[in-house]
Amino acid sequence: MTTSSPVVIIIEDEAKLRRFVKLALEAEVCEVFEADSVKRGLIEAGTRQPDLVLLDLGLPDGDGIDFIRDLRAWSEIPIIVLSARSAEADKVAALDAGADDYLTKPFGAAELLARVRAHLRRRFRAGATGSALFEFGRIKVDLGKRLVERDGQPIHLTPIEFRLLAYLIANPDSVLTHRQLLKAVWGPSHTEDSHYVRVYMGHLRRKIEDDPTRPEHILTESGVGYRFLS
């Protein structure tokens, strides 16, 4: 981490919720700026040089997704979307537009902080890792040599499974939609065949997870996609 504290912008029209988020993040030694509209948010994002944005999708003066597109045009900083349950389509649209993660309301301080920490860590680590070696749980992956081992025993993956795993490893903690995975692994012509992802993800889980019905690394985000935890 750098010496200065990370900067977070919260864009949310409900003042009390902003207050809670600000309280929670300041306890985590973050500098928090508030915005209550898309317009205000864009100004804040342009002037504060934030390290992370928390964005409510239902804002009074516009669609949060437009904000994401705007921001992604010039910045790669992590965006976490705040949204309600049963709005999966909105979440998918936000993630496909470039958001990294989402939090379902109502959320607690613990959940919020865990996500924020993960994405800040990722942001400050980005570019630092040149290594092709990864380790999570009992699994070791050598991307260069295309080797996967569990407790030192080699695991045999198919080319697609390997590409899938490599893409997951490259994007830890973020939620990846089916469309993003299809595009990255199968190519742009397969973006509607989401059953491919589901089936191969199942295969991968069986080879990597200790208990595939209760996965610890490859988590399902119902109706949205997957999240890889190392």
Partner 1 sequence: MSNLPDSDRPDPDQLLARIQEEESRALRGKLKIFFGASAGVGKTYAMLGAARQQVLQDVDVVIGIVETHGRMETEVMADGIERLPMKEIPYRDRILEEFDLDGALARKPALILVDELAHSNVPGSRHAKRWQDVEELLAAGIDVYSTVNVQHLESLNDVVSGITGIRVWETVPDKAFDAADEVVLVDLPPDELLQRLKDGKVYLPNQAERAIRNFFRKGNLIALRELALRRTADRVDDQMLQYRREQFVAPVWQTRDSLLACVGPGEGSERIVRTAARIAGRLEVPWHAIYVETPELQRLPDAKRHGILRNLKLAQELGAQTASLSGADAIETAVKYARTHNLGKIIVGRDHLRPWRPWYRSFADRVGHAAPDLDVIQVARTEGETGPQLHAEDVVESVARDWQAYVWTAGVCGLAGAIAAPLYQVFDLANIVMLFLLAVLLVAVRFGRGPAVLASFLSVLIFDLFYVQPRFSFAVSDVQYLMTFAVMLAVGLITGQLMAGFKYQAQVATRREERVRALYEMSRSLSAALMPEQIAEIGEHFLEAELGGKAAFLLAGEDDDKLAPPLASTKGLAAVDMGIAQWAFDHGEAAGLGTDTLAGSPVLYLPLKAPMRLRGVLALEPSNADRLMAPEQRRLLDTFASLIAIALERVHYVDVAQSTTVQMESERLRNSLLAALSHDLRTPISVVVGLADSMFLTQPPPTDAQADIACSLREEALRISSQVDNLLDMARLQAGRVELNRQWQPLDEVVGSALKTMDRALADHRVKVSLDDDLPLVEIDSVLMERVFCNLLENAAKYTPGGSQVEIMASATDKTVQVRVEDNGPGLPSGKEEIIFKKFERGQTESATPGVGLGLAICRAIVEAHGGEIRAENRSQGGARFVFSLPKGVPPEIGKEELLEAGEQQP
Q: Residue numbers of the site for partner 1 (CB under 8 A)? A: 14, 16-17, 19-21, 23-24, 27, 58, 84-86, 88-89, 105-110, 145-147, 154, 156-162, 193-196, 198-199, 201-202, 212-215, 219-223
- For partner 1, give the closer residue by CB, 1 or 23: 23
- For partner 1, give the closer residue by CB, 172 or 215: 215
- For partner 1, give the closer residue by CB, 138 or 146: 146
| 3-state SS assignment for residue 189 | helix
- For partner 1, give the closer residue by CB, 107 or 136: 107
- For partner 1, give the closer residue by CB, 71 or 134: 134
Q: How far is the CB of 160 from partner 1 (least distance, A)?
A: 6
Residue 107 CA to residue 92 CA, distance in Å, equals: 19
Nearest to 59 by CA among 74, 77, 81, 79: 81
Q: How far is the CB of 121 from partner 1 (least distance, A)?
A: 21
- For partner 1, give the closer residue by CB, 77 or 168: 168
The DSSP string of 65-79 is HHHHHHHHTT----E
Q: Pairing relation of β-strands 175-177 and 225-228?
A: antiparallel
For 137: left if phi > 0, alpha if psi spans -120 to 50, otherwise beta; the answer is left
Residue type, 65: I
* Long-range residue pairs from 207-213, CB within 8 A, at least 24 positions apart, any chain: 207/155, 207/156, 207/157, 207/161, 208/139, 208/148, 208/150, 208/155, 208/165, 210/137, 210/138
Q: How far is the CB of 196 from partner 1 (least distance, A)?
A: 7
| 3-state SS assignment for residue 105 | strand
Nearest to 57 by CA among 87, 34, 30: 87
